[in-house]
Each structure stands twice: as C-alpha cells, then as structure tokens.
Amino acid sequence: MTAALYAGRSMLRTVVLERGAPGGELLNTEVIEDYPGFEHVLGWELAQKFEGHARKFGAEFRTAGVTGIRRTADGRFECLCDNGEVYRAPAVIVTAGGTPIKLGIPGEIEYAGKGVSYCAICDGAFFRGQTIAVVGGGDAACEEADFLTRYAEKVYLIHRRNEFRASKIVQKRVFENPKIEILFDTVVEQVHGDDQGLVHHLTIRHVKSGETSELPVTGLFVFIGFRPNTGIIEEHVDHDAMGYLVTDTNMQTSIPGLFAAGDVRVQLTRQVTTAVGDATTAAIAAEKYLTARRDAA
C-alpha cells in the first residue's frame, strides 16, 4: 500500500492486486506499538489508514490472488490471477511477503494474535513479567528466546530433537540465560485458552517416552521457519538460499522492471517500518525506470 501511495503520487496508474482484505500481516497482528506516531494502534485500523491514503492518490485495489508473474518478449509483465484475469504492466513491485511455517496443531490459529505469535520483536513487550514458550531449534528460535527474556519472567524453549541446530555462539547464550528452561525431545500438541481468547497453557508431549503434560504459559512463539512467497515469479530471479529475493539499493531484482519490497526480499529484519521504507524506494525507482524506458523508446 505504501508502494501504491508513492506510485500514485508520481502520477502513475497503479493497481494493487490483493488476494483478500488489504493489509497483509497487519491483519494478523492485534496491536502495533512500534510504528512511529502510533503508540498503540490496532493492526486492522492501521491497514485501513494505509489503504485510504493510497486510494487518495489514485491507487486502484482489485481482489485477486496472483498465481504467476511473467516477463513478455517486449519487456513488459503479465500478472496471472486465480480468477482468470491477466494484468499487464511495464513494471511490477512484488510485495507478496512471506508465510511463517505453522505447527499445525489445535488452537494455534484460534489464538493467533492473542497469545500465539511468530514475531518476538513485534509482540514481546505484551508479555512483560509472564511465562511464555518458544518452539524451534535453529538460530531464529534461540535468538528470539534470548531476546524475549528482556520481557518475560521465564521462557521455555521447546525443541523436538535432543540438540539445537543453532550456531554454537547462539546456543551458548541460551544455555547461560537463567530465565530460559530448555525442553528437548518435546513437541507442542495443543494450545489452550479461556473464553476471552487468551492462552493459559499448552499440551506438550515427550517424543521418546510419549508422556503428555500441561505447561502453564500465557504465550507461544513459533520459530520453525519462514517461507517467502516468491514462487509466483516464473522466470529465474536472483535469490538467497532461503528463497528471498536479492535486490539492489533501488529495490530492483535481477529482472529489469521487477522490484521487490518488504518481507519477500533479503534483509536483516522484517518489520512494518522496513517494509514501508522498501516500498517507498521501490515506487520512486519504478517511476524513474519507466521514465528512462519511455525516453529510450
């Protein structure tokens, strides 16, 4: 939506293709407290403000899931949609984001944003002084478990194997943190909550003994992987080992005219603020690309 806002301000006809309600991950976040100027704002509320602002500058929103992006012989692009429609444009900004890999257990979806989270930086402050659990065994899980002890009174780090996959230096911080209790050879089987929709405990199972028990926590953070939604690009485009798109400083990918912004591209952190910054650059760069293309014609 930021990309659409800046493209609109550049007097470019801009169409936003969105598979559902505009907002992306904002709609999966109950409260946001780290966006400048908004000390406390609901995710859907901020999404509506973004949408309204983009529409003010002429952005058109269409409900359509993009299934493919292909470059044609003349260097333009076709965006293929799940409703059979095809949108053609000389430049495309990919802001398809990514999808956290979920545990797939009962209660996980029901309590998402109400105790179940996939972002420690986003939601850690809501669990100040509480007992929470983190699931995972890689660098992300260990780093975020350590980070969450800034807020939580206690953190259970749950891993299905008997050793972590994280780098040794990250493991060292976890082992030395007195606020972290490690539960190896353990999986979470169910998330339980109250009538107000808040988490109060987990059902966990020891994978070797098969014994189940209840773990009293008010939050569950899941870090078992994150999958960028880059499969829609049909042509080979430079990416890293995890599938994130590699861009230059103008947010342009290895394909001329194809730009990327937000969670879909290689970067240090993935926050709404960084997505907005990426999109600002991408839209301005796209306008300059189109101007150069027109002048060369």
Burial of 236 (0-12, 13-18, 19+ CB in 10 A): exposed
Say if residue 121 is in the same domain as residue 217: yes
What pLDDT score was predicted for residue 100?
87
- Please indicate, yes or no, if residue 106 is contained in any of the structural domains: no
pTM value > 0.85: no
Domain boundary among 188, 207, 222: 222
Q: Is 122 a catalytic residue?
A: yes
**63-72: b (≥16 Cβ within 10 Å) or e:** ebebeebebe
- Could you give the number of structural domains in the chain? 2
Show the domain range for 77: 2-99+227-296
- State the pLDDT confidence band at 278, using cuts at 50, 70 and 90: very high
- Please indicate, yes or no, if residue 108 is contained in any of the structural domains: no
Beta carbons within 10 angstroms of residue 230's beta carbon: 20
- Please indicate, yes or no, if residue 255 is contained in any of the structural domains: yes
- Please indicate, yes or no, if residue 111 is contained in any of the structural domains: no
Query: How far is residue 204's CA from residue 188's CA, in Å, rounded to a whole number?
Result: 4
Condensed to tens digits (0 to 9), the pLDDT of residues 136-183 reads 999 889 999 999 999 999 999 999 999 999 889 989 999 999 999 999
Active-site residue, from 122, 142, 146, 278 = 122
Active-site residue, from 119, 146, 263, 278 = 119
What residues pair up with 215 in beta bridges, in sequence order? 202
Say if residue 14 is in the same domain as residue 83: yes
Say if residue 248 is in the same domain as residue 163: no
Q: Is the pLDDT of residue 56 over 90?
A: yes
Domain boundary among 222, 248, 278: 222
Alpha carbon 87 to its chain centroid, in Å, reads 25
Say if residue 218 is in the same domain as residue 243: no
What the block records as the tokens of 82 is 């799940």
Condensed to tens digits (0 to 9), the pLDDT of residues 95-125 reads 999 888 999 999 999 999 889 999 888 889 9
Condensed to tens digits (0 to 9), the pLDDT of residues 279-288 reads 999 999 999 9
Say if residue 125 is in the same domain as residue 177: yes
Q: Is 79 a catalytic residue?
A: no
